[in-house]
Amino acid sequence: MDTFLLKLLLTPTLIGAVSLAGRRWGSAISGWLVGLPLNSAPIALFLALDHGAAFATSAATGTLAGALSDIAFCLLYCWLALRHRWPLPLAVSTSAFLLISWLLHFPPLAAIPVFVAVVVCLAISLHLLPRLAADQKQSVSGWWDIPARMILATLFVIVLTAIAPALGPQLSGLLATYPMYITILATFTHAGQGAGAAIRLVRGALLGIFSLAAFFLVVTLLLERAGIFVAFGSATVAALCVQGIVLRAV
């Protein structure tokens, strides 16, 4: 019950805060914030508390590999958004995420090689994104926009965490990286402010995946050796440091 209540409180709070940040500072900053492991990190912590360090470490390695699926999701959404309204980009990019996650489920995964692959793919993907003109003044959506985002995000978290333990550690870790916050923010931004704003948001989220990779690399290396508190505390510090470096860079 405590975990369920935490989902009901934490998820809408995070998505609401990021949505308000997007209205205040622009879609790119909103995407940068949502790139933090706001969804996958709590899931990893719940798995460690409920199923032990070994299970959670394997799931964390899967989550690290799942960043590759996130990268494919973001690239496909951006290129399809140039010519299509949000339903088609969302359907195709989600299908690609699920396919890549399923393929990554079969081989055994090692954290450090996967981390290197994620960083290389991120660097390449940032150069492959569509080029856009300077950001324009954003329109303001109706009063229902942010509450609707919060409700959808909470439903996603409840459903995903309900089915994740039955899938096993590696596959549940892979699926835990589904870009739920990116999906909701990008589609609402796409519908209300156009493709350009949605692409800027997704680009910001891609930059944020660097911090996700750092977080889960540290968790996989420390969880079984140092325990939950040290592993997740160190991973949080690493993610925030990487996120700060990325913000200065952009």
pLDDT interval class at 230 (50, 70, 90): very high
pLDDT digits (tens, 9 = 90+) for 173-205: 777 777 777 787 788 888 878 888 888 888 888
pLDDT score of 71 more than 60: yes
Q: What is the pLDDT of residue 120?
A: 95
Q: What is the pLDDT of residue 215?
A: 93
pLDDT interval class at 114 (50, 70, 90): very high
Pick from 109, 147, 124, 115: nearest CA to 72: 124
Q: Tell which wins on pLDDT, 241 or 167.
A: 241
Q: How many domains, in total, are found in the chain?
A: 1
pLDDT interval class at 35 (50, 70, 90): low
Contacts 24+ apart (CB under 8 A), 17-22: 18/181, 18/185, 19/145, 19/146, 19/149, 19/150, 19/185, 19/188, 20/146, 22/185, 22/189, 22/201
Per the structure, the complete domain to which residue 29 belongs is given by: 2-249
Give the CA radius of gyration of the chain: 17
pTM for the whole structure: 0.77
Distance CA 12, CA 241 (A): 25
Among the ranges 1-5, 22-26, 106-110, 172-176, which has the highest mean pLDDT value? 106-110
Distance CA 165, CA 51 (A): 9
pLDDT score of 140 more than 60: no
Among the ranges 86-90, 100-104, 156-160, which has the highest mean pLDDT value? 86-90
pLDDT interval class at 96 (50, 70, 90): very high
pLDDT score of 118 more than 90: yes
